[in-house]
């Protein structure tokens, strides 16, 4: 497409930016709220690194074999950082789901009581707060080191031979095709594990196309927008499903309490609404024309 910048340069620039933003997000985390936001941002940017780095591989002019093994180091260190932050994110996500559920209660006192009970039962008791903070701080510091290592590899890397356009197109096109197939079958069977895989593929698609902004074919923009919406909807549905699983502990400890019934009612309604949003997003994604979208991806990377 005339006037569009070189795809390889755009992707590589965004890869550098994503690593920088991931590291910056974990700096100066003063308090639980800053930690939650920092971890959320860092994980999003690390997912972008893992989506973009494979697209930056070059090809050996002689035999066409993949080169730029530095990509493997970047992927390894970014995956390690993401894994370290995972348990911190899961606990924060559970607390956020509790907050959302209890906001459905009619009066402030009921909201406060329900939130306090669920946080103490499912997340941590008051005595655990110090240990929780220490665990999070240690995980974040180790994640920082892993991100700095990935950044060191990237800084020393001199990409070989430019973007492998065919390879990059093939990677993104495969994610799109696999997501369509998995999503259709998962919706039909109600398979939560397959829906989780769809969420990861949809997130990959949105992040792999993020560097190009609006300077892309309209169908590629539509793919990015619908993939982003699908990933968000599937993420919300998953977080509420995890809270539902964790509620077994609260039900056992608070058996017979009217509070449990009220929380269950709020959670059931929230899950119904989240499922409806997820199904709407899934239907929109599945409406994307397969052939025209694949042609748009081919055009996007052929620059």
Residue 93 lies inside a defined structural domain of this protein: yes
- Asked whether the predicted pLDDT for residue 111 surpasses 50, the reply is yes
Residue-range definition of the domain harbouring residue 82: 7-301
Residue 146 lies inside a defined structural domain of this protein: yes
- Asked whether the predicted pLDDT for residue 182 surpasses 50, the reply is yes
- Asked whether the predicted pLDDT for residue 297 surpasses 70, the reply is yes
| pLDDT the model gives residue 67 | 55
Average pLDDT, the chain: 86
Residue 1 lies inside a defined structural domain of this protein: no
Domain at 23, CATH number: 1.40.20
Predicted confidence band at 126 (pLDDT cuts at 50, 70, 90)? Answer: very low
28-43 tens-digit pLDDT: 888 878 888 999 999 9
Q: In terms of Cα–Cα distance, which of 123, 102, 117 is closest to 32?
A: 123
Residue 19 lies inside a defined structural domain of this protein: yes
Residue 2 lies inside a defined structural domain of this protein: no
Least confident of 54-58, 169-173, 285-289: 54-58
Least confident of 80-94, 171-185, 198-212: 80-94
pTM of the model: 0.86
Residue 77 lies inside a defined structural domain of this protein: yes
Highest-pLDDT range among 64-73, 214-223, 246-255: 214-223
Cα distances (angstroms) measured from residue 281 to each of 10, 35, 79, 288: 28, 30, 28, 11
Residue 46 lies inside a defined structural domain of this protein: yes
Mean pLDDT over residues 166-170, rounded?
A: 88
Residue 272 lies inside a defined structural domain of this protein: yes
- Asked whether the predicted pLDDT for residue 58 surpasses 90, the reply is no
- Asked whether the predicted pLDDT for residue 61 surpasses 50, the reply is no
Domain count, the chain: 1
């Amino acid at each position: 497409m005339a006037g569009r910048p070189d795809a390889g340069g755009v992707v590589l620039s965004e890869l550098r930016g994503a690593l920088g933003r991931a590291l910056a997000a974990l700096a100066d985390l003063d308090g639980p709220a800053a930690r939650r936001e920092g971890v959320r941002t860092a994980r999003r940017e690390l997912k972008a690194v893992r989506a973009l780095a494979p697209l930056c591989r070059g090809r050996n002019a002689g035999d066409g074999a993949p080169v730029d093994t530095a990509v493997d180091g970047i992927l390894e260190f970014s995956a390690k950082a993401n894994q370290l932050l995972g348990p911190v994110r899961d606990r924060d996500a559970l607390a956020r789901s509790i907050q959302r559920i209890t906001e459905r209660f009619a009066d402030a006192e009921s909201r406060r009581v329900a939130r306090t009970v669920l946080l103490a039962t499912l997340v941590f008791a008051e005595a655990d707060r110090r240990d929780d903070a220490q665990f999070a701080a240690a995980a974040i510091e180790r994640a920082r080191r892993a991100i700095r290592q990935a950044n060191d590899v990237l800084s020393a890397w001199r990409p070989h031979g430019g973007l492998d356009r065919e390879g990059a197109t093939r990677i993104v096109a495969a994610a799109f095709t696999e997501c369509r197939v998995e999503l259709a079958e998962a919706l039909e069977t109600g398979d939560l594990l397959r829906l989780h895989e769809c969420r990861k593929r949809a997130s990959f698609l949105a992040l792999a196309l993020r560097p190009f902004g609006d300077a892309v074919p309209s169908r590629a923009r539509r793919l990015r927008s619908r993939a982003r919406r699908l990933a968000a909807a599937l993420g919300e549905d998953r977080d509420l499903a995890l809270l539902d699983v964790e509620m077994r502990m609260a039900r056992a400890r608070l058996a017979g309490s009217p509070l449990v019934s009220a929380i269950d009612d709020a959670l059931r309604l929230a899950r119904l609404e989240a499922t409806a949003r997820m199904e709407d997003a899934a239907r929109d994604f599945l409406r994307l024309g397969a052939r025209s979208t694949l042609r748009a991806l081919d055009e996007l990377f052929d620059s």
